[in-house]
Amino acid sequence: MIDDDSRAQLIAYREEQAKSTALEAEFLLNNDMLRGSMNRIYYSMFYMLQALSLKYQFESSKHSQLLGWFNKTFIHTGKIEVKFSKIITKGYNLRTKGDYATIYDLDKQELLQMFGEMTEFIQEIERFLKTP
């Protein structure tokens, strides 16, 4: 079990990790490094979810478990709009294709849209991190 001080430090670390990863995604996108950008877009959202899960004392490094917890705890209860579940699921699917498909061409326009959605996702999760 993590004590409250350590938990707060880890939450802050994951939040900072998410924001710096978003900057990496932007750099890669602006330099037409689409596969790397998609990876960073997804991971910036994943790190924010890890921060959120720490706040609510749920811990998992497994992507599917974390996404399931998010949907159960925030989406199905109506605390967060369904569109945010769709955003992270789309990010996860694109990242998986980009990382593992033998041949998969990412579309820059789609990634620009995904980058905007990632920004909105981060802001939504931040809102919950700031509430007592």
pLDDT tens digits, one per residue of 76-90: 999 999 999 999 999
H helix or E strand, kind and range, residue 34: helix 34-55
Could you list the residue range(s) of the whole structural domain that residue 71 is in?
4-130
What pLDDT is attached to residue 1? 67
- Say which residues have a Cβ less than 8 Å from residue 24's Cβ, sequence separation at least 6: 36, 40
What pLDDT is attached to residue 102? 66
* CA gap 106, 122 in Å, rounded: 22
What pLDDT is attached to residue 3? 86
Whether 79 and 6 have beta carbons less than 8 Å apart is answered as no
State the total domains in the chain: 1
Give the CATH number, domain containing residue 112. Answer: 1.20.120.330
Q: For residue 70, give both structure tokens.
A: 């998010």
Task: Kindly list the distances between the CA atom of residue 23 and the CA atoms of 4, 18, 29, 103, 110, in Å, as whole numbers in the listed order.
Answer: 29, 9, 10, 26, 18
Ranges of the chain whose pLDDT falls below 70:
1, 101-104
The helix/strand/coil state of 16 is helix
